[in-house]
Amino acid sequence: MNAKALLVGVVLASAFTSASALSVVPGYQPQRGQVPLVFRPCFPDGPTGSPNRTYGCPSNDHVDNVGIELDEPVVITGPAMRTIDSTDGTFSRLSLGMVHLVSAMLNIDATEDGFVVFFTSDVGPTYQFALHGRGQNFFTAYTSPDSGFSLRTFNSDGVEADIIARVNQVRVFALPEPETYALMIVGLAAIGLIVRRRKTRR
């Protein structure tokens, strides 16, 4: 295999397997590969969760589960693009986790202006944004596979406050299993070997 083909394989492997810190970008910016988070049909015989925790799945994958946890009993409502809500109508904390999760986009519906949201994860750093009470608080979080992320809301005095009315239009993107990439890299190596042999025979 020539150096160029080997370099391509190494770059692809590192891009898909390297860990990166949390990054959060405000605004409506759907990413390629992101699909709506749904709750039916998802592994009907799978985990049921607890009052404050439930599970969903990507609309194109009804096997991998997405863990959703609030500081209040969680309620899932809405049509195709589901909405995360709580039984008393407001909450301040949300954690989202999924095996091989790479990015998630969501829209936070705040009860009023003057509050902030903090995004954190196991791999840091922390991001802080102001929230608008009129809704349309879109954010896209990029995180290391298997780490997930959390968000918390605070009032202007820095006190944690239940000001999230709901979280809408959740979309997620996760990498396939590592074995899939191992096979892909092997395939790239095989293609490079075939190309080299063809050049040698000429």
- Taking the CA of residue 143 as centre, how many other CA atoms within 13 Å lie in the half-sphere pointing to its CB? 31
CA distance 131 to 117: 7
Judging by DSSP bridges, how do beta strands 127-131 and 115-120 pair with one another? Answer: antiparallel
Q: Which of 77, 107, 92 is nearest to 171 (CA)?
A: 107
Q: 161-199, pLDDT tens digit by residue?
A: 999 999 999 999 988 655 444 444 555 566 666 656 666
Q: Domains, the chain, ranges and CATH?
A: 18-176 (2.60.120)
Three-point CA angle 84, 143, 6, nearest 5°: 140
CA distance 197 to 200: 5
- pLDDT-flagged residues of the chain (< 70): 1-20, 40-41, 43-48, 79-81, 176-202
For residue 85, the one-letter residue type is D
pLDDT score for 55: 86
Sign of the four-CA dihedral 143, 27, 117, 53: negative
15 φ, ψ (degrees, to nearest 5): -65, -35
Query: Which two tokens mark 69?
Result: 């946890």
CA distance 179 to 190: 16
Look at residue 62 and give its three-state secondary structure.
coil
pLDDT score for 18: 43
184 φ, ψ (degrees, to nearest 5): -65, -45
pLDDT score for 61: 84
pLDDT score for 2: 45
pLDDT score for 135: 77
pLDDT score for 140: 96
